[in-house]
Amino acid sequence: MGNVLSNLKPSALWKNFEDICGIPHPSKHEEKIREHVLSWAKAHNIECKVDDTGNVIMRKPATPGMENRKGIILQAHLDMVPQKNSDTVHDFLKDPIRPRINGEWVEATGTTLGADNGIGMAAAMAVFEATDLVHGPLEMLLTVDEETGMTGAFGLKAGLLNGDILMNLDTEEEGDLCVGCAGGTNANIKFQYTEKPVPADVQAFKIAVKGLKGGHSGVDIHLERANSNKLLNRILWYAFNNLEMHLASIDGGSLRNAIPRESFALITLPKANVNKFNEFIKEFTATVINEYKNVETDITILAEPADLPASIIDHVTTNNLLNAIYATPNGVIRVSQDMKGLVETSTNLAIVKSHNNVIDVMCLLRSSVDSAKEDLENMFACVYSLACAECTFNGQYPGWKPNLDSPILKEMLLAYEKQFGKKPHIGAIHAGLECGLLGGVYKNWDMISFGPTINFPHSPAERVNIASVEKFWEFLTETLKNAPIK
């Protein structure tokens, strides 16, 4: 990889991160990054192994005089979210991420950067290769597939790790100490459809909704950004009910935990209704731009003539799909009654995609309250039962309940105030951290999550603040020096 980040501090962390950027590692394709980490560990003479799930575990002994400290596990995940703009040519299975410095930030060009969670991984590696740090017994846990299923956390077995404290390096606001997170459920909906002949005397249109900001469906859900699937559905529902539209295909969103930024559909309309449709698109675009004028700055809605499709989706399924999508709850459902400003419950209508006589609708339901999550599941089941679709749920993972009496929390509060002259913020996040699952296996663990400032994760606008990385590193190393005594 190049040396774009070579002058940034701390140099070891940024070097590791730039090396990570050079190796494709989208979720479920962590083989190359795992090989890199194993080779790196061998080169630095670090004890390392891979568990049955593909997680990487390393150990580093305490520095002299620190053997009596509680063991700390530095934890990050190997995978990154592969998101790019539709006009960006990039193969996440082959091409490296190209980081660049833009003022106070490091970002990528047209793709996600992978600072989530490459910075956490790079920091843990920098700690393990350092010879001048003071610390107690250390372990490193790098999990697989955090972004799409938490497969690594689900598969971690008891007895593999010896530490007492888990430091999850996967929070995205410097100065925040995270002590809790939401749980989640995947909603999977399937519509079966029949292909029908294309009617006579029609014009085909390719509809595109794009230019939205998107973002992390947990961390950014409170920002009330537009959902491209919801916007596209408003167009299709109107045209279906007023202009004799037929739907040929639909393709919106790409990842369950990313707010969808781009959605596309191929439709047909009677030629007699083309002018009315064009006028509607013009009016609807103005309406949406006004609705989101304080949130979205680059909304683009296109309706361009296209070649006729080979077939269309049957009328009944189209009607059921569009009504159900319209009725599907999306965004913030409820805010926390216990922690001011925290989203308690939300949904993300992430993917709507037709293929091989099936339309898949995929959503992610989040809540820090189990009963509220179950209530959402019932709501989705009812909506899609009325729409004659199959609705199932999987991938359930628990939330992480805050422990304000945590020993590591107390040490980190003292360390941060001593270093930076102010108290850090203590809170929870409306996103799925692996802590809930990992703490269920290792019930003795004292857990905390923190990290540098990362904006817009899970979108091509992702960026990491340079100064915050240095503060994060200084805080991490100071905390290791002051680990609690056994």
Residue indicated by tokens 């609690």 = 484
Q: Where a domain ends, among 397, 416, 451?
A: 397
Categorise residue 64: left if φ over 0, alpha if ψ from -120 to 50, beta otherwise: beta
Percent helix, percent strand, percent coil in the chain, to nearest 5: 30, 30, 40
- Which burial class, exposed, middle or buried, applies to 422 when counting CB atoms under 10 A from its CB (0-12, 13-18, 19+)? exposed
What does the longest C-alpha to C-alpha distance in the chain come to? 84
**Tens-binned pLDDT, residue by residue, of the chain (486 aa):** 568 999 999 999 999 999 999 999 999 999 999 999 999 999 999 999 999 999 999 999 999 999 999 999 999 999 999 999 888 999 999 999 999 999 999 999 999 999 999 999 999 999 999 999 999 999 999 999 999 989 999 999 999 999 999 999 999 999 999 999 999 999 999 999 999 999 999 999 999 999 999 999 998 999 999 999 999 999 999 999 999 999 999 999 999 999 999 999 999 999 999 999 999 999 999 999 999 999 999 999 999 999 999 999 999 999 999 999 999 999 999 998 877 788 999 999 999 999 999 999 999 999 998 899 999 999 999 999 999 999 999 989 888 988 989 999 999 999 999 999 999 999 999 988 999 999 999 999 999 999 999 999 999 999 999 999 999 999 999 999 999 999
Residue 158 falls inside a structural domain: yes
Long-range contacts of 15-21 (CB under 8 A, 24+ apart): 16/121, 16/122, 16/125, 16/126, 17/99, 17/115, 17/118, 17/119, 17/121, 17/122, 18/99, 20/114, 20/118, 20/121, 20/122, 21/96, 21/97, 21/98, 21/99, 21/108, 21/113, 21/114, 21/118
Residue 448, both tokens: 């905390």
If asked whether residues 406 and 454 sit together in one domain, one would say yes
Whether 54 and 141 share a structural domain: yes
Assign 274 to helix, strand or coil.
helix
**486 assigned to some structural domain:** no
User: Under 8 Å CB-to-CB from 471, ≥6 apart: which residues?
Assistant: 174, 175, 420, 452
**205/352 same-domain check:** yes
Q: Within a 10 A sphere around the Cβ of 98, how many other Cβ atoms? A: 17
* 154 shares a domain with 111: yes
Domain boundary among 348, 380, 397: 397
How distant, in Å, are the alpha carbons of 26, 31, 80, 229, 259 from that of 350? Answer: 18, 26, 17, 7, 6
Residues 45, 30: Cα–Cα separation, whole Å: 22
**SS3 (DSSP) at 277:** helix
309 lies in some domain:
yes
In this structure, the answer to whether residues 368 and 413 fall within a common structural domain is no
User: What is the number of domains present in the chain?
Assistant: 2
Q: Are residues 138 and 276 in the same domain?
A: no
Residue 4 domain flag: no
**Whole-angstrom distance, CA of residue 384 vs CA of residue 327:** 9
The DSSP code for 443 is T
pLDDT for 1 equals 52
Concatenated DSSP letters for 94-137? TPPP--EEETTEEE-SSB---HHHHHHHHHHHHHHH-SS---SS
Q: Are residues 229 and 98 in the same domain?
A: no
The pLDDT score that the predictor gives to residue 339 is 79
Please compute, for residue 205, the number of CA atoms within 13 A of its CA located in the half-sphere on the CB side.
24
One domain for residues 361 and 441: no
CB proximity list for 48: less than 8 A, separation 6 or greater: 37, 38, 41, 42, 56, 57, 58, 59
One-letter amino acid of 438: L
Active site residues: 79, 146
Q: In this structure, is residue 171 part of a structural domain?
A: yes
Q: Judge if 113 and 174 occupy the same domain.
A: yes
Which residue do the tokens 């293929």 mark? 355
Q: How far apart are CA 144 and CA 127, in angstroms?
A: 20
For residue 105, what are the contacts with CB-CB under 8 A and spacing of at least 6? 455, 463, 464, 465, 466
In a domain, 468, yes or no: yes
CA 54 to chain centroid, in Å, comes to 20
- Residue 414 and residue 344 share a domain: no
Say which CATH number the domain at 312 has.
Answer: 3.30.70.360
Query: Are 16 and 88 in a shared domain?
Result: yes
Could you give the CA distance from residue 426 to residue 388 in angstroms, rounded to a whole number? 45
Q: Is 33 helix (H, G, I), strand (E, B) or coil?
A: helix
pLDDT at position 338: 76
Report in angstroms the alpha-carbon separations of 65 from 61, 118, 284.
11, 31, 68
Instruction: Answer yes or no: is 48 within a domain.
Output: yes
Of 397, 419, 445, the last residue of a domain is 397
Specify if 5 maps to a domain: no
Q: Which domain holds residue 226?
A: 185-397
The CB density around residue 419, as the number of other CB atoms within 10 Å, is: 13
Q: Which helix (H) or strand (E) holds 184?
A: strand 183-192
The DSSP secondary-structure symbol of 160 reads S
293 with 324, same domain?
Answer: yes
CATH number at residue 46: 3.40.630.10
pLDDT at 325: 98
